Structure 1
């Protein structure tokens, strides 16, 4: 692997980019800080000017990922337009698209074993993304009678779990990807079953 150069004053971001290369090659827990330094083209001691250790570096990768994730989800949700259901479906497709386009960030966010509060930046960024998902759930479930309406956080968590499972099994080139259905089709039908159970869309 070729070493990355970096501009003076931008070592922190050079290390993030190096970590993304290593995550793609070895997974989020398969590399050391020394390897990140070597990939960035700096001394083994240099990363510690910015990060206490690998977990802090991964937290920065994850924080930047969550910021991008929130941008993607907000764009897809578009304030619930053209309809709450269409916006909700768009958010689900955006989830899959993000995992494909930013696999290194996605793995740091969801597979590195980091607590959401590992750093203040990670907590803030992950909460922003989760807030979009909760808002989408609230908008769509607003017409369910209050006594039957699931908490928006639970609603969002169910959809997140379904989306994440599809990413892991069918959208990341891992074993289990052989299926006659696309990840988008699997997500659409799974969400449809869930929403029918809540009475949000009519049964066939």
Structure 2
């Protein structure tokens, strides 16, 4: 699986109380990228961060609390990327957002795994997900509709297609069948067909 850079983590092993939380979060992200969300313990994160097994409990009551914080940070990071893509993409913002989503899943495997494989909500179409809100706005413009329900249904389907392709092509996942286009090309074909259908249907 993809390894996260650990130079900064190594520098922080002689931690002070002010950066213990950050060192543990970085260690956990690296472990998730290497082993998956279920493949390590809180003690493993402590060992990688260069602290005692008891040290993590100063900030996290258990491993689940650590994973939840990583998942929340991942949704926030993804939301920032999607909003920036939507703004830069103009009328075709939803296309840029889809590509940004695929890039995030590929470049941030630890965040992506924590976000969608640990049972911690915080995005992925929830009402308070800023990335999904930006997607709804872009989709609404594309299909020429201001009906909230219609736009939300269309945006949810776009999200489902994007998330499915990202998951299939993520490191360690079932690969997209050989001989087909790249995930980005498949996404463009699927989303365009989906939204064209919505635009034609009253």
Please confirm whether the aligned pair reaches a TM-score higher than 0.5, indicating the same fold: yes
Q: Alignment partner for residue 111 of structure 1, among 80, 92, 117?
A: 117
Match of 2:174 in 1: 175
Q: Alignment partner for residue 141 of structure 2, among 139, 142, 158?
A: 139
SS in 2 for 1:165: helix
User: Which whole-Å CA distance do the structure 1 matches of 2:152 and 2:112 have between them?
Assistant: 21
Gaps of 5+ in 2: none
Q: 1:68 Cα deviation (Å)? A: 1.4
Match of 1:34 in 2: 43
Q: Is the 8 A contact 1:171 1:183 kept in 2?
A: no
Flag the 1:104–1:77 CA change in 2: closer, same or farther, 3 A: same
Q: Is the 8 A contact 1:80 1:136 kept in 2?
A: no
User: Which whole-Å CA distance do the structure 2 matches of 1:48 and 1:110 have between them?
Assistant: 25
Match of 1:130 in 2: 132
TM-score by length of 1: 0.81
Flag the 1:74–1:6 CA change in 2: closer, same or farther, 3 A: farther
Match of 1:88 in 2: 94
Query: Does 2:47 align with 1:48?
Result: no
Give the number of equivalent residue pairs. 189
Q: 1:114 Cα deviation (Å)? A: 1.4
Runs of 4+ in 1 over 4 A off after TM superposition: none
Match of 1:65 in 2: 74
Q: Is the 8 A contact 1:78 1:87 kept in 2?
A: yes
Match of 1:120 in 2: none
What is the Cα-based RMSD across aligned positions, in Å?
2.7
Q: Is the 8 A contact 1:80 1:87 kept in 2?
A: yes
Q: Is the 8 A contact 2:140 2:146 kept in 1?
A: no
Flag the 1:196–1:139 CA change in 2: closer, same or farther, 3 A: closer
SS in 1 for 2:119: coil
Q: 1:190 Cα deviation (Å)? A: 0.8
Q: Is the 8 A contact 2:71 2:122 kept in 1?
A: no
SS in 1 for 2:129: helix
Q: 1:80 Cα deviation (Å)? A: 6.2
Q: Is the 8 A contact 2:32 2:113 kept in 1?
A: yes
> Which sits farther off after the overlay, 132-141 or 29-38?
132-141
Flag the 1:37–1:189 CA change in 2: closer, same or farther, 3 A: same
Render the CA deviation track for 1:8-38: whole Å, top value 9, x for unaligned: 1111111110011110111012211111111
User: Which whole-Å CA distance do the structure 1 matches of 2:70 and 2:146 have between them?
Assistant: 41
